[in-house]
């Protein structure tokens, strides 16, 4: 089945009707518009006879990721992947898909999420501005992203307003891949625990989140470490998350252009059987793919998908303009993912039972569900790692 032919199966309880193909957008390129930051307000003074323990509780609540995301009303999108797996570039490709290529749908940097006006909250927002304004522009002009080197994970608030559908407010969680790198040594644990901020989010956030697992076709010396790291992230996610079945999960075979090279006109860049993508995942990511397929989610709930993904035409370390004949295929990857994110965010706002069909931004592309886990997958998942 080719991407362009994909029937929108498995999406939502009743599925979505097939629509005519949308024209791939390659319109003029506006600068992403950043929303100006609201003025900082001074922190409220503590009452005179305050109990220090109560103050501490309030302080930790105020800086709690779960608390802040809940009060912002934003839908969190969490990305897991080891260093250099392509998380940040994937996020850039999503932003640029709307900000640069398809002006029909409005995208902008949202208001700051952390309400308190301390240094760390300010730093979070400055990082988000930097990402949204600087990195997206640099990437569009041909420069690769630097490795993410922040001290703590942070959210990039993003608002998406389609002309003929409800607006969604999102919060993309950006961080460093080496936080999930497997631990060295012949004894002791293999998996790192997640950062405390992410644990806080997973433990206390009670609505649904979108979770993206980034598994690149090629990386460094090979995919083994990336597989183990990703498996560890899923193990820890499962350990900390209350209600994993409520979240929406997407496993991506990233850097697809390094498998099916558009410069060589490999037809698989545009069209490939889903079973082949699943086969590659099984070979290159045996433990994390198995673990993913074994997440305790109702197989018929439409909460688990996979897809191949290319974030851009990146050759020899240079980001290039895609050749005209491949442009619409490059666009299809972020469009497909946008459909998934948009529907998840709307569902979170409205409650699963309130919509009969899955809403989408781009009718021509929708992700698909993975095959059911085999016995071998189940064994791998139990072992945790090979």
Ligand X SMILES: Nc1nc2c(ncn2[C@@H]2O[C@H](COP(=O)(O)OP(=O)(O)OP(=O)(O)O)[C@@H](O)[C@H]2O)c(=O)[nH]1
Tokens of 141: 């002009």
Using CB under 6 A as the binding rule, the residues of this chain from 230 to 249 that contact ligand X are: none
85 binds Mg ion (CB under 5 A): no
Q: Is 252 in the site for ligand X (CB under 6 A)?
A: no
**Closest distance between ligand X and the C-beta of residue 184, in Å?**
18
Contact between 127 and ligand X per CB under 6 A? no
Nearer residue to Mg ion within complex by CB, 297 or 310: 310
Q: Write out the binding residues for ligand X, residues 271-330 only, by CB under 6 A.
A: 310-312, 314
Nearest to 312 by CA among 193, 143, 166, 196: 143
CB closer to ligand X, 194 vs 310:
310
What are the angstrom distances between the C-alpha of 123 and each of 60, 97, 150? 17, 27, 10
**Cβ closer to Mg ion: 11 or 170?**
170
Q: How far apart are CA 124 and CA 114, in angstroms?
A: 8
Minimum distance from CB of 82 to ligand X (Å)? Answer: 7
One symbol per residue from 131 to 150: x for binding Mg ion (CB under 5 A), - otherwise; what is it?
Answer: -----------------x--
Those residues whose C-beta lies under 8 Å from the C-beta of residue 244, and which sit 6 or more positions away, are 237, 238, 295, 296, 297
Judged by beta carbon distances under 5 to 8 A according to partner kind, the member of Mg ion, ligand X, none in contact with residue 314 is: ligand X
* 81 contributes a contact to ligand X by CB under 6 A: yes
Query: Does 335 participate in binding ligand X (rule CB under 6 A)?
Result: no
Q: How many H helices and E strands in the chain?
A: 11, 9
Assess 311 for contact with Mg ion (CB under 5 A). no
CA distance 360 to 358: 7
User: Is 176 an interacting residue with respect to ligand X (CB under 6 A)?
Assistant: yes
Rounded to 5 degrees, φ, ψ at 204 are -110, -10
Residue 355 neighbours by CB under 8 Å, 6+ apart: 12, 346, 347
Residue 334 within binding range of ligand X, rule CB under 6 A: no
User: Which residues lie near Mg ion (CB under 5 A)?
Assistant: 88, 148
């Amino acid at each position: 089945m080719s991407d362009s032919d994909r029937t929108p199966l498995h999406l939502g309880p009743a599925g979505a009707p097939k629509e005519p193909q949308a024209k791939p957008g390659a319109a003029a390129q506006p600068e992403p518009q950043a929303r100006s930051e609201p003025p900082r307000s001074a922190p409220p003074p503590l009452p005179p006879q305050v109990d220090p323990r109560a103050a501490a509780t309030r302080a930790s609540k105020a800086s709690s990721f779960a608390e802040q995301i809940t009060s912002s009303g934003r839908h969190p999108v969490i990305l897991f992947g080891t260093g250099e797996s392509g998380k940040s570039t994937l996020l850039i490709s999503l932003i640029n898909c709307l900000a640069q290529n398809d002006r029909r749908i409005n995208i902008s940097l949202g208001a700051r999420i952390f309400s308190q006006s301390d240094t760390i909250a300010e730093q979070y927002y400055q990082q988000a501005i930097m990402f949204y304004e600087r990195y997206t522009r640099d990437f569009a002009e041909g420069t690769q992203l630097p490795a993410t080197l922040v001290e703590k994970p942070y959210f990039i608030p993003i608002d998406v307003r389609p002309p003929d559908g409800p607006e969604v407010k999102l919060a993309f969680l950006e961080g460093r891949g080496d936080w999930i790198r497997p631990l060295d040594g012949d004894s002791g644990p293999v998996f790192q625990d997640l950062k405390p901020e992410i644990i806080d989010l997973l433990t206390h956030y009670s609505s649904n989140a979108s979770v993206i697992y980034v598994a690149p076709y090629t990386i460094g010396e090979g995919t083994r470490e990336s597989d183990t790291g990703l498996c560890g992230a899923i193990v820890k996610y499962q350990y900390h998350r209350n209600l994993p079945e409520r979240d929406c999960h997407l496993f991506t075979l990233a850097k697809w252009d390094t498998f099916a090279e558009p410069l060589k006109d490999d037809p698989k860049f545009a069209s490939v059987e889903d079973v082949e993508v699943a086969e590659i995942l099984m070979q290159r990511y045996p433990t994390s793919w198995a673990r993913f397929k074994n997440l305790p989610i109702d197989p018929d709930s439409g909460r688990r998908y996979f897809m191949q993904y290319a974030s851009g035409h990146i050759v020899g370390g240079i980001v290039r303009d895609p050749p005209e004949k491949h442009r619409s295929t490059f666009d299809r990857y972020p469009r497909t993912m946008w459909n998934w994110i948009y529907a998840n965010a709307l569902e979170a706002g409205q409650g699963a039972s309130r919509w009969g069909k899955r809403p989408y931004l781009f009718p021509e592309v929708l992700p698909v569900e993975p095959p059911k886990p085999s016995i071998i997958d189940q064994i791998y998942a139990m072992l945790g790692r090979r």
